[in-house]
Amino acid sequence: MTLQEALKNLAQRRAQLAEMDTALASLKAKMEATPEGKAYGFAASARRVAAEELADAEAQARDLAYAAFTQTGDKKPAPGVSIKWYNRVVYDTKEVMAWCRDNARMFLHEELDKRGFEDMAAKVTQPGMPWKVEGEPRVTLATDLSAYLVEESAPATVAGAEIAEAAGKTA
């Protein structure tokens, strides 16, 4: 294929894609003008809002669970909530690389094998080592929290009913 042929092919593909984009935009505009398209737009918007509210609710639940844990020390501050303890290795990379050159070359390649080193360091902690292991509590929330759902306070059900109602008007 010559350069001229390649450029002609490229120009044809660009023109073809531009035509497709125009056709898709036209179809989208027509679809959005229908009752079904409007219902879909409403449902998609409501879902975006619900997802943001879910993220906020989850962050709030985690914060409150962590606060309860720090006040009481209880690792299960409520049903469906647990606090798990994770070890985190804290170190200065340059200091650890120097230590590894003298004591554990297996963790040195072109750079520090962080995963291998941290696994070892979490198990081998002695005074004078160029790292320390710190415990870090993390909140775990159960996937199924349906026991907390009460019929009087079900905002998700209200939003779901609005979406279903909008979809029903289009049927």
Q: What is the pLDDT of residues 48-97, one digit of tens each?
A: 999 999 999 999 999 999 999 999 999 999 999 999 999 888 988 888 88
Domain-wise residue ranges, the chain: 3-75+144-170, 81-141
pLDDT at res. 165: 66
Q: Rounded to an integer, what distance in angstroms lies between the CA atom of residue 91 and that of residue 130?
A: 6
90 strand-pairing partners:
132
CA dihedral 149, 154, 159, 162 (to 10 degrees): 120
pLDDT at res. 27: 93
Residues of the chain with pLDDT under 70: 151-171
pLDDT at res. 154: 47
